[in-house]
Amino acid sequence: MESVVGMPVGRVFAGDESLPSGRFAIVVSRFNQTITEGLLRGALETLTTAGVAPDDVDVFWVPGAFEIPLIAKRLATARCHLAVLCLGAVIKGETTHDQHINRAVSLQLAEIGSQTGVPVLFGILTCNTVAQAVARSAPTEIIRNKDQSQGKVGNKGAECALAALEMVRLLQQINRVFGATPTDGNCGQNIPGEPRGRS
């Protein structure tokens, strides 16, 4: 028996196992490229620091954020990658154009992940100003050396990669215990070395 928040539970799955071998896909928008390149750099640094070989990362450039879901769906459906990271930057203008893009892209990416079972990560900035976008795509050295006067500084590309790594590990745990697909009918009760679950 394990515990979580000080309470006993049967098992805890937290995506904290070793990383399985496989490839990662990054779909990144060329629009606002000075921003998206920062997101891409943060994602790549995070993946390689976690032990992902550079040769195991494929980068797909698309014109803008609106085109990301099409490529993400193609990649997730092919199941050649452990996860698909989606990076872009939509900055508010004088009209509501940004709202329509943000809503359409976010809903589609969530649906692709749930339909395919492949983690599809939302690393698309939805900012009111360029300054906000710059602060959320900062280089590692700036994040490391920031002080309180700099306020909100980070890299959403790096955060997206961290989430991808955790989801890949978590799915590996779930597949090992419960089976690779929901139709396997395995509720984790007959896995060697694992606690028996309820049937």
β-pairing, 2-4 vs 7-9, is antiparallel
β-pairing, 120-127 vs 2-4, is unpaired
Distance CA 20, CA 30 (A): 30
Distance CA 121, CA 110 (A): 8
Distance CA 93, CA 85 (A): 25
Whether the CB-CB separation of 35 and 134 falls below 8 Å is answered with: yes
End-to-end CA distance of the chain: 17
The residues assigned a catalytic role are 97
Over the range 111-131, which residues count as b (16 or more CB within 10 Å of their CB) and which as e? ebbeebebbbbbbbbbbeeee
